[in-house]
Amino acid sequence: MLTTTRRLFIGLLVLAACGTTESNHKKPAPAAAPTPTASGATELGYFAGGCFWGVEHFLEQMPGVIDVESGYMGGPVDAPTYEQVSSGVTGHAETVRVTFDPQQIGYEAVAKRFFEIHDPTEVDRQGPDIGPQYRTAVFVTGPEQRAIVDSLIARLKANGYAVATTVEDAGKFWPAEEYHQNYYVRTRKTPYCHMPVPRFDQRASS
């Protein structure tokens, strides 16, 4: 039998799960394209590292990043809803699509920041969020991005981190429901399972 304290703890974990309290919203139409840069050239990066709220929040603060959109990638189901993805059976991961200006910031800088704001050693979870939809993954658009990510992972492993991040070819990106977009900006809340850690400058604690 669960004690009152145990019930309260479980309840808090459920409420903390990404999107749990607002899952009754409908899925919107795909978002409009980001505003073009002066040069007209932009690049894309796709990153999954737990609840997309926190990943989006930290990556969109980077100079040169034009837009960060929360969504789903990595599974075979077309147009998945949050409820389907959160069941853990669709194969999708909560993923952000980062649009950036390569004249202002490089892909390596964005990817490096991704590894600093989430724990790449956790398997099928991030903090209190548990399940394959919260796995750590980078979906690359070509061999150049793959080489950069592989190099960053090698640096982390050299620092003693048991990196669990998978490097996969990018597939179809499905935008998440509107209430997931810019969540922390709109609600003025703070990330509960993401925080910057200078992993490339320090060794993993034993």
Q: Which residues are designated catalytic?
A: 51
Q: Residue 143, Cβ neighbours under 10 Å: how many? A: 8
Rounded-to-integer distance, Cα 192 and Cα 95, Å: 17
3-state DSSP assignment of residue 140: strand
CA 71, CA 45: separation in Å to the nearest integer? 13
Nearest Cα to Cα of residue 95 among 150, 65, 53, 141: 53
In contact, 72 and 84? CB cutoff 8 Å: no
For residues 102 and 37, is the Cβ–Cβ distance under 8 A?
no
Angle at 196 between CA 163 and CA 105, to 5 degrees: 90
Question: CB of 101 within 8 A of CB of 200?
Answer: no
